[in-house]
């Protein structure tokens, strides 16, 4: 019987069961695959509440995403519109405005909630 995870002992037990299930060759739509899926959701929810991961700094997120997309910082100038803005943004001398946040979100697919944080 699956139950909500309410403490660390239950969390560790659920993790052990998830690990054991992942070691098996589970067939899709089986009882074990359903159990694994539900346990994974419960573990994730427990972790979100008890071990939250902070959102990245907006500038670090931009640099990381550029690296992921194999883009240069000069290509960021095209997105933002001006070469000087790019360097001012990346050095922290200028803050992102709403228009920049929208362009970065649409072009680089960085979540807006990351870009609007204070830094």
Any domain includes 109: yes
Say how many domains are in the chain. 2
Confidence grade of residue 73 (pLDDT, cut at 50, 70, 90) = confident
Decide if 3 is inside a domain: no
**82 and 102 share one domain:** yes
| pLDDT for the residue 86 | 87
1 is a domain residue? no
Domain membership flag for residue 100: yes
Is 95 among the domain residues?
Answer: yes
| pLDDT the model gives residue 15 | 97
Mean pLDDT within 40-60: 95
Residue 108 domain flag: yes
Residues 111 and 102 sit within 8 Å (Cβ to Cβ): no
Helix residue ranges per DSSP H, the chain: 8-22, 31-50, 58-68, 73-80, 83-91, 98-108, 112-115
What would the mean pLDDT of 13-35 be, rounded to a whole number? 95
| DSSP-derived secondary structure for 45-57 | HHHHHHSPPPPPP
More confident: 50 or 85: 50
Helix axes 58-68, 73-80, angle to 10 degrees: 110
Residue 85 belongs to domain spanning: 58-115
Round to whole Å and give the CA distance between 12 and 117: 33
pTM listed for this prediction: 0.64
According to the model, what pLDDT value does residue 50 have? 97
Question: What is the domain-level CATH number for residue 89?
Answer: 1.10.260.40
pLDDT value at 84 more than 80? no
Question: With 90 as the cut, is the pLDDT of residue 87 above it?
Answer: no
User: Is residue 2 in a domain?
Assistant: no
Rounded to an integer, the average pLDDT of 59-82 is 91
Q: How many whole angstroms separate alpha carbon 32 and alpha carbon 36?
A: 6
Residue 33's CB is within 10 A of a number of other CB atoms, namely 14
């Amino acid at each position: 019987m699956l139950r909500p995870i309410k403490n660390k002992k239950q969390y560790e037990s659920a993790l052990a069961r998830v690990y054991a299930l992942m070691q098996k060759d589970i067939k899709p739509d089986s009882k074990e695959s359903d159990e694994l899926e539900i346990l994974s959701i419960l573990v994730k929810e427990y972790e979100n509440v008890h071990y939250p991961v902070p959102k990245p700094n907006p500038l670090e997120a931009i640099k990381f995403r550029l690296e992921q997309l194999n883009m240069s910082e000069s290509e960021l100038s095209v997105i933002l519109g001006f070469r000087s803005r790019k360097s001012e943004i990346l050095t922290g001398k200028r803050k992102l405005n709403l228009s920049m946040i929208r362009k970065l979100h649409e072009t680089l697919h960085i979540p807006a909630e990351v870009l609007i944080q204070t830094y």
